[in-house]
Amino acid sequence: MTKQNIMKVAAIAALSSALLACNSSDNDAEPTDNALPQLSPATAAELSGNCNDLAASLSVLANTTITSSSEVATGELMVAGNDVPAHCLVTGNMFERVSDIDGNVYAIGFEMRLPLNWNGRFFHQANGGIDGTVVTAVGAAGPGNLSNALYQGFAVLSSDAGHSGALGPAFGVDPIARLDYGYTAVEKLTPMAKELISIAYGKGPDRSYFGGCSNGGRHTFNTFARMPDEYDGYLAGAPGFRLPYAAIANIFGAQRYHSVATNPMDIASGFTAPERQMVAAATLSVCDDLDGVQDGLINDFEVCQATFSFDDVPTCTAERDGTCLSEAQKTALAPIFSGAVTSTGEPFYAPFPFDTGVASADYAFWDFFAPVVLDSGGVGLIWGVPVADPATFNGQDLALNGSIDDMLTSIESTNDIYTEAASSFMIPPNNGEELSAVRERGAKIMVYHGVSDPIFSAMDTINWYNNLSENNNGDATDFARLYLMPGMGHCSGGTAVDQVDLLTPLVEWVENGIAPEDLVATARGAGNPGGENPEVPAAWSADRSRPLCPYPTVARYDANAGSGDVESADSFSCQ
């Protein structure tokens, strides 16, 4: 990969942002009827002293350099049209060092935003992409930018997970930076953040939360698996908890598109926009009314997967013209949906559901651009052993011509310098086991995932959740719930109803024992304060609402319920 391309990767990585996080401290839980402990609610406090003087007081933090503390006035940040209250912004870094591998300076850069009027809670915001940027520490409360943790009074931490985005994926040549990105930055940051809060407010966080989307969802899964004693609530979106495998699956897809591309320089020509729109329409024609109403949303997506296939798409009898797929295309593209496999046919990643998102811009970005520029850089430089040379690495060549089997071997390999494989440091250990330490602490997990997510398959998350349920006597709903969002792409957007505050119900569940019921999401049509979603169809009302149903239930239309209005959640129930 050229330096120019590395910079491009860095710029793109900086664009792919993430979500939330939270955290709290002592486990003063008491048993309840269902034998799960009930954690006590957080209590409010005020920032002690002057924000500008806080930096000096924080000089006692181990392995930490505080670079500034300054007050941010009410309204300097906003969310969904509301002023974020005044808070103290603290910036710093941990474990600054010079790499003996590449000579670059590494540190875990971070910021903490401390409300002057604090709700007693800590939120650890995990970020997206390949990290490398201290994204503003607001702690997204769910998809659609309706609220955030800082607005709600949490103290919020954000970090770059141990490297600068200026390096792009080349940070992966440093073995410590690899591990920090994987999970050790969170281990180093967590006790520091709790002590910082203790100094700032005169008490540590009563309750701690952790969250994020995409790679931030991956961090969330790693955190509840690796350090379950540190956090009380988790909010994971589009969790890329098998990120290196998902990236190789995406490269597997790129090679398939390339094989039927009319322009070999543009893999998007293997599955054009008109063809993708035609497939989305064909999917809707078969699956839209499975949930009781033709409304542009396929709520019953699992039945859809068993019902729809490329057999339902016209086969071209002449040249491809956007109204059909050629036989060669159907053969080449079907495995992208049925699940990536090795050269001997062994599956290594989940299938992807057929849904409306195949027509979206999100799909084009993740399927045609990301494998060549993002995923290949991750495999070659961040996860693979041996590591590629950043000076000569050619991501496009690896993506289009590399051996999938060799890539899988590389992310599972170690050597004297890179002693932990990416298949270990990127991925939560004991994946699919019962998570008894989380459950028995009284902690709660909420996960959301777009059915149309083109990079991390909702089916992978469903498999995780089904394993979790099986390992909890068939039912994990007393501490973990999964919400699938039809039509939603990666973290938000798409032909979807994608705006909901999940943090408030998570806190209610963790601290008051009130399990989330009757959650409602809203579309971001014209005038939405969280930011309009341009993919909301004109035929929908701007604020179309839908119940957000815990898996395995789905929202079904019930003409006898409510007003029968197709635009209203009242006309649907989770079944």
Counting residues that bind Ca ion (by CB under 5 A) gives: 4
Those residues with Cβ within 8 angstroms of residue 250's Cβ, 6 or more apart along the chain or in another chain: 366, 367, 370, 371, 375, 455
Closest approach of Cβ 569 to Ca ion, in Å?
14
Stretch that binds Ca ion, among 136-144, 296-304, 368-376, 515-523 (CB under 5 A): 296-304
Cα dihedral 182, 428, 303, 328 in deg (nearest 10): 50
Question: Are the beta carbons of 61 and 77 closer than 8 angstroms?
Answer: no
Angle between helices 404-411 and 243-259 (to 10 degrees): 170
- Which residue type sits at 106? Y
* DSSP output for 386-405: SPPPTTT--HHHHHHHS-HH
Q: Is 291 in the site for Ca ion (CB under 5 A)?
A: yes
How many Å apart are CA 134 and CA 127, to the nearest integer? 8
Q: Element (H or E) spanning 108, and its range?
A: strand 105-115
Nearest to 523 by CA among 494, 561, 549, 552: 494
Closest approach of Cβ 358 to Ca ion, in Å?
16
How many Å apart are CA 570 and CA 368, to the nearest integer? 39
Nearer CB in complex with Ca ion: 35/539: 539
Q: Report residue 287 as tokens.
A: 């699956």
Nearer CB in complex with Ca ion: 93/452: 452
User: What does residue 494 show for φ and ψ, rounded to 5 degrees?
Assistant: 90, 180
Nearest to 296 by CA among 570, 539, 519: 539
Nearer CB in complex with Ca ion: 174/295: 295
Interface residue with Ca ion among 111, 131, 275, 288 (CB under 5 A) is: 288
Q: How far is CA 180 from CA 175, 187, 188, 388, 426, in A?
A: 9, 9, 9, 19, 10
> DSSP strand E in 155-295: where?
155-159, 207-213, 233-237
- Which residue type sits at 546? R
Closest approach of Cβ 486 to Ca ion, in Å?
8
Q: Is 300 in the site for Ca ion (CB under 5 A)?
A: no
Stretch that binds Ca ion, among 33-41, 280-288, 305-313, 438-446 (CB under 5 A): 280-288
Those residues with Cβ within 8 angstroms of residue 152's Cβ, 6 or more apart along the chain or in another chain: 119, 141, 503, 504
Stretch that binds Ca ion, among 2-10, 152-160, 291-299, 398-406 (CB under 5 A): 291-299
Nearer CB in complex with Ca ion: 25/571: 571
Nearer CB in complex with Ca ion: 331/575: 575
Question: Which residue numbers are catalytic?
Answer: 214, 453, 490
DSSP letter at 298?
Answer: -
Closest approach of Cβ 570 to Ca ion, in Å?
16
Closest approach of Cβ 283 to Ca ion, in Å?
11
Nearer CB in complex with Ca ion: 295/362: 295
Stretch that binds Ca ion, among 176-184, 294-302, 424-432, 490-498 (CB under 5 A): 294-302
* Number of alpha carbons in the 13 Å side-chain half-sphere of residue 334: 12
Task: Give strand pairing partners of 21.
Answer: 125
Q: Report residue 86 as tokens.
A: 């005044």
Interface residue with Ca ion among 206, 232, 295, 498 (CB under 5 A) is: 295
Task: Give strand pairing partners of 106.
Answer: 97
Stretch that binds Ca ion, among 26-34, 292-300, 373-381, 427-435 (CB under 5 A): 292-300
Nearer CB in complex with Ca ion: 425/483: 483
Question: Are the beta carbons of 489 and 496 closer than 8 angstroms?
Answer: yes
Q: What b/e sequence results for 272-283 when a residue is b if at least 16 CB atoms lie within 10 Å of its CB, and e otherwise?
A: beebbebbbebb
Give the number of residues written for the chain.
575
Closest approach of Cβ 571 to Ca ion, in Å?
12
Stretch that binds Ca ion, among 132-140, 286-294, 469-477, 524-532 (CB under 5 A): 286-294
Closest approach of Cβ 534 to Ca ion, in Å?
21
Closest approach of Cβ 525 to Ca ion, in Å?
18
Q: Is 230 in the site for Ca ion (CB under 5 A)?
A: no
Question: What's the sign of the alpha-carbon dihedral 485, 279, 353, 405?
Answer: negative
Stretch that binds Ca ion, among 297-305, 325-333, 455-463, 540-548 (CB under 5 A): 297-305
Stretch that binds Ca ion, among 37-45, 293-301, 378-386, 463-471 (CB under 5 A): 293-301
- Which residue type sits at 226? R
Nearer CB in complex with Ca ion: 206/300: 300
Nearer CB in complex with Ca ion: 475/565: 565
Nearer CB in complex with Ca ion: 291/501: 291
* DSSP output for 332-390: HHHHHHH--B-TTS-B-S------GGGGSHHHHIIIIIHIIIIIHHIIIIII-SSPPPT
Nearer CB in complex with Ca ion: 32/294: 294
Q: Element (H or E) spanning 105, and its range?
A: strand 105-115
Closest approach of Cβ 555 to Ca ion, in Å?
9
- Which residues bind to Ca ion, rule: CB under 5 A? 288, 291, 295, 297
